[in-house]
Amino acid sequence: MTTYWCEHAQLPDRMHRGVRVVVEGGRITEVTSETKPGDGDVRLRGLVLPGFANAHSHAFHRMLRGRTHADGGNFWSWRDQMYAVTSRLTPDTYFALARGVFVEMVAAGYTVVGEFHYLHHQPGGKPYDDPNAMGEALIAAAAEAGIRITLLDTCYLTGGLSADGHLPLDEVQTRFSDGSVQAWAERVEALRDSDLVRIGAAAHSVRALTGEQLAEFATVVGDRPVHAHVSEQIAENLATQMVYGASPVEHLTDAGMLGERFTAVHATHLSEDDLELMGRSGAGACFCPTTERDLADGIGPGCELAERGVPLSLGSDQHAVIDPFEEIRGIEMHERLKSHERGRFPLSGLLEMATANGYRSLGWDGGRIAVGSLADFVAIRTDSRRTGGVALGQAVFAATGADVTDVVVAGRRVLSGGVHPLGPVDDVVAESIEAVRRSS
C-alpha cells in the first residue's frame, strides 16, 4: 500500500484541498479530502490531476518535428517526408526512438499512450524472424519509460484511393502490409495484454482497405478497442464518395465498423449526416489539435460532435509538440476562433477529453482520481512563471508540460521532482533521435 497526500487535487466533482489517495494493487482504494499530511505519505505539492491519455500517437513521426514550414506544402507533401523516415527504422532503432518519445510523454504528464502502429515488417515487406518485432519494440520502450500502452496494431492493405479505385502498395508501404486481413489477425493474435499493455486494433483508413476488407476486419477484431483515421483530408472524402458513393463515415458504417469500441481519429471533415451517424453509433472521436494545425488539415467539428453525445479524446499524433495542455487548449481555442465565443467546452469536459475519455477509447478504466480507478495521476506546479497567480480550476489554460513535477502510473512514481529514472529527460530524448540519425 502507498499513500499520497496532495496539496490540491482535481476529483470528479471539483478541486479539493488536502487530498489523501491510498493505492493498493495499482488502483485507488481510498480518497479523503481536507486532510493533513501524515508521516508515511508521499507528498505531492501543487495541483494533482488525473493522468493524461495520449489517444493517438505515431512515435516515429517525432523525427519530423520542426520540418513542416520552410517549403510550405500540405499533408500529402509531409507524408513523403514521413515515409522517408521509415527506411531508417529497425526493431533496435525503433525501440531507441520510441523510448525517448515515451519518456518525453511521461515528463509532460501522459500516463497512457495509444500507439497507432503500422510499421510492421522489413523494407520490401518481408517479416522479421519475430513477425511482431516492431510492435514488441514499442511495448518494451513503453515499459522502460513507465507509461501504459495500447498498441493499436494497424491493418494496412492498399496503397491509397483515387477516383479509379484502390491503388497498389508502393515500395515504402509494403512494410506496412500483412497481405490480407486474415494474415494481420494471425500475427496480432500472438501479442498479449499485461498489467500495463493492451493490444488494440486499427484500420489505417478507408484508403488502406477495400470495402470488403473493412467488412472482414470488423468481424475479426473481437472486443478490442478499434481506431481508424477518418476524414482527415478532403481528398479522402471525395475519393470515397466517387468510388463507394458514400462518405468515409457512411462507408465505415456500411462495413460494420462503427460502435462503442470505435474511435474515429481526426474526424475533421464531417457532413451533417456523418455527425448524426457518429452520435447514434456510440463511437468516439479523437482530435489532435497541434497536428491538425501544424499540417494545415483543418478544424474539426468538436462542439457539433459533443452536442450529439460523441465522447471526444485527444492525441499528439505526429508530435509537433508533446504537451497535453496544448492539446486541451487547442480544441477550445480552435472553437473560439470559429465561433467568436469563449467557453465552448466546460472545463470539466475539457479535462475529461484529456483523461477519462482517452483512457476509455484505449480500453482502460482510468483517468479519474476516484476509488476503483487506476492509480494514474500527475502533479503540476502552481508557482511557476506560467501558473503563478492563476485560478487553480483554470490551470490547464496556463500550464505546460514543463510544469509537471511528478507522474504516478499504477501507483508507482515514474517521474519524481521532474527526474526520470532513465536520466535527464532532455538527454534521453536527444540520444533517441541521434540513434536514428546514426543509422542513416
Active-site annotation holds for 266: yes
Which residues pair with residue 49 across a beta bridge? Answer: 378
Nearest to 82 by CA among 55, 100, 60: 60
SS3 130: coil
| Residue tagged 517525432 (cell numbers) | 62
- From the list 274, 297, 317, 406, the catalytic residue is 317
Query: Around Cβ 38, how many Cβ atoms within 10 Å?
Result: 10
SS3 378: strand
- From the list 266, 269, 319, 420, the catalytic residue is 266
Q: Which residues of 254-403 form beta strands (DSSP E)?
A: 262-266, 284-287, 312-314, 377-380
What gap in Å lies between CA 202 and CA 210, rounded to an integer?
Answer: 14
Active-site annotation holds for 317: yes
Query: Around Cβ 190, how many Cβ atoms within 10 Å?
Result: 12
Counting runs of H as helices and runs of E as strands, what totals does the chain give? 14, 17
C-alpha cell of 147?
507509461
| Residue tagged 493499436 (cell numbers) | 152
Burial (CB count within 10 angstroms: exposed 0-12, middle 13-18, buried 19+), residue 192: exposed
| Residue tagged 494481420 (cell numbers) | 184
Burial (CB count within 10 angstroms: exposed 0-12, middle 13-18, buried 19+), residue 339: exposed
Per the CB < 8 A criterion, the answer to whether 119 and 178 are in contact is no
Residues annotated as part of the active site: 266, 317
